[in-house]
């Protein structure tokens, strides 16, 4: 009786396992600087699509501190320019010049434009990886990551981040709450904090 040759099938299985591990390591490699950073600074064009059909466009500058107070400043539109949000854990405070207004506890299921960039950074650091793929945004080759986080009230928040291959700089991001995309962000510049190499992207 001839003995069955199982070596080719075993080799194929090992090859497929190796490919899966490689894909996973690519995503983890791009996410690692976000987990290790002391902070970062970024500017982005943010669009809000409300459940009631309202649409708002903002230019926001964010100084993100994963362990302390994150600040987000409105650069545009002119009617809101100068408004600054300070986010410390779950507490959001809006400040304009010398006027401070308590905005209450942040509800992750009711994200505002001011929370868009901090939420995307939190997803990059802590989110559960649902899927990944390679896609092009404009002319930039990116790794597309879909990341899941649970909101403060138990709702599902899914962030999609397009990180530029090679250096992991964010190019574009979206946030969906319970399956509906409510926030979109097109990054115009980004700089890591002291623990990582400083990199910057300008789309001009």
Q: What is the pLDDT of residues 91-127, one digit of tens each?
A: 767 766 555 544 433 334 567 888 899 999 999 999 9
Percent residues over pLDDT 90 in the chain: 49
Integer Cα distance of 199 and 193 in angstroms: 10
Residues paired with 191 in a beta bridge: 41
Torsion angles phi and psi, residue 48, rounded to 5: -100, 130
Question: What is the predicted pLDDT for the residue at 72?
Answer: 93
| pLDDT tops 60 at residue 19 | no
pLDDT (tens digit per residue) in 38-55: 999 999 999 988 766 677
- Does this model's pTM top 0.85? My answer is no
Query: Which neighbouring-strand residues pair with 195?
Result: none
Closest CA to 169 of 142, 130, 132: 142
Residues 154-190: pLDDT tens digits? Answer: 778 999 999 999 899 999 999 998 888 889 999 999 9
Environment class of 195 (CB within 10 Å of its CB; exposed 0-12, middle 13-18, buried 19+): exposed
Say which DSSP state 114 is in.
G
- The H or E element that residue 62 is part of is strand 55-64
**Count of CB atoms situated within 10 Å of the CB of 22:** 9
Omega within 30 of 0 (cis) for the link into 77: yes
């Amino acid at each position: 009786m001839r003995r069955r040759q199982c070596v080719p099938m075993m080799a194929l299985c090992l090859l497929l396992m190796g490919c899966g591990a490689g894909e996973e390591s690519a995503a983890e490699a791009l996410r690692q600087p976000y987990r290790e950073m002391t902070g970062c600074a970024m500017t982005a064009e943010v669009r809000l699509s409300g459940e009631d059909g309202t649409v708002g466009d903002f230019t926001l500058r964010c100084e993100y501190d994963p362990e302390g107070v994150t600040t987000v400043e409105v650069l545009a539109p002119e009617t809101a320019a100068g408004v600054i949000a300070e986010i410390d854990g779950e507490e959001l405070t809006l400040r304009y010049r010398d006027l401070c207004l308590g905005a209450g506890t942040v509800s992750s299921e009711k994200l505002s434009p001011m929370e868009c960039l901090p939420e995307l950074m939190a997803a990059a650091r802590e989110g559960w990886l649902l899927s990944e793929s390679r896609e092009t945004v404009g002319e930039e080759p990116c790794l597309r990551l879909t990341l899941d986080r649970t909101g403060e009230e138990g709702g599902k928040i899914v962030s999609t981040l397009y990180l530029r291959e090679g250096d992991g700089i964010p190019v574009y991001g979206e946030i969906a709450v319970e399956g509906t995309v409510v926030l979109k962000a097109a990054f115009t510049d980004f700089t890591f904090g002291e623990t990582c190499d400083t990199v910057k992207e300008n789309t001009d």
